[in-house]
Structure 1
Amino acid sequence: MDSQDNKQLEEELSLKLFVVLSRAFQTIRKRVEEDIKTYGMNPTEFAVLELIYSKGEQPIQKIGDQVLIASSSITYVVDKLEKKGYLVRKPCPKDRRITYAVITNEGHTLMNEIFPKHKEAINSIFGGLDTKEKELVIDQLKKLGYYAADPL
C-alpha cells in the first residue's frame, strides 16, 4: 500500500468512525432522555437539578457552563424547577450580582428516589460493554476529544 492508499483508508475510516459515533450517541441520548421523561422532567431540568444535588448550591450564572446548556436557557430552567418546588434562589450575601440555585428538601427527596433508578437505566443502556471495554472506550474517547480540541 502506498501513502496515497493509506491516506484514503485513513479518511474513509475517519468518516465511518464519525458516522458510527454520531449514530451511537443519538441512540444513547434518546434512551437517556426517555428515562428522564419518566420522572416528569426534561433533560435540561434533570441536568441542572442533578448538578445541584451532586455538587451543592451553584451560582446560577455558572450552571450553563457545567451542564452544557446556553446561559440564556438557565433562568427559564431554574424558574421551572423553582415552580415545581425542587430548588430556590438564594442571594449571595457578599455580592448582590450573584444568585445561587439551592436544592430544596423536596428536590433532595426526589433525587434520592430517582437518581439510583437513573443510574440503573444508564448502566442498562451501556450493558453491551463489559467493564474493561467501558474503560477502553472512555480512554479512547478522551484521547479523541483532547486531540480534536487542540490538533496541533
Structure 2
Amino acid sequence: MKSFEQNDQDQALKLFVVMTRAMESVTKRVEEDIKGYGLNPTEFGVLELLYSKGNQPIQKIGEKVLLASSSITYVVDKLEKKELLIRKPCPKDRRVTHATITEKGTQLMTEIFPKHKAAVQEIFGGLETNEKDLLIDKLKKLGFYAQEL
C-alpha cells in the first residue's frame, strides 16, 4: 500500500504531465491561428503589446512578451522590414529607443485581433466560464507558489 506522500508525489507528477500536454495542445492551436496572419507568435506578441499599450522602449519589450533581450532586435528588425513598426528615439533620453506601431501595423491588428480573440475563445471552448475562472485562480496560485520556492 502506498503512503500518502507517494500518492501525492504520483499525483503531482501526473498533474505536471497533464498540464504540460494540455499547454502544448493549446499553444499549437494558438500558434496555428497566428501563423495564418503571416506572423510568428513573437512578432504577434510585440505587435499586440504596441497595439494595446502604445509605444514601448525596445529594451523593455522582451520582459513584457517573455522574450530574451537578444531576440528583440531581430524581431523588431523583421517587423520594421514589414513596415508594421518603426523605431523612434526617446526625446528625453538618447540611450532609449521606442518601438512604435505604424498605421499599417494598426490596420493589421485592428483586422486580425478580433479574429484571434475568437480563435482563442474557441480553443478554450471545452471549459465553462466558471471552470476558466477556477483554472485561472488555481494556476496563479501554483505559479506564485513555484516562484517562491
- On whether the aligned pair clears a TM of 0.5, the verdict is yes
* Counterpart for residue 53 of structure 1: 51
Q: Could you say what the CA RMSD is over the residues aligned between the two structures, in angstroms?
A: 1.0
1:40 and 2:38 matched: yes
Runs of at least 5 residues in structure 2 that lack an aligned partner in the other structure: none
Selected match of 2:61 from 56, 60, 63: 63
1:137 and 2:117 matched: no
1:60-114 Cα distance to aligned partner (Å, 9 max, x none): 0000000001100000100110111110000001111100000011100000000
**Which stretches of structure 1, 4 residues or longer, exceed 2 Å deviation after superposition?**
none
Counterpart residue identity of residue 43, structure 1: P
Name the SS of the counterpart of 1:96 in structure 2: coil
Counterpart residue identity of residue 36, structure 2: T
Aligned residues: 149
- Under a length normalisation based on structure 1, what TM-score does the superposition of the two structures give? 0.96
Counterpart residue identity of residue 15, structure 1: L
**Percent of pairs identical after alignment?**
67
Runs of at least 5 residues in structure 1 that lack an aligned partner in the other structure: none
| Alpha-carbon distance in structure 2 between the residues aligned to 1:77 and 1:96 | 22
- Under a length normalisation based on structure 2, what TM-score does the superposition of the two structures give? 0.98
* Counterpart for residue 93 of structure 2: 95
* Counterpart for residue 27 of structure 1: 25
C-alpha displacement at 1:120, in angstroms? 0.3
* Counterpart for residue 6 of structure 2: 8
| Alpha-carbon distance in structure 1 between the residues aligned to 2:94 and 2:30 | 37
Counterpart residue identity of residue 101, structure 1: A
* Counterpart for residue 78 of structure 1: 76
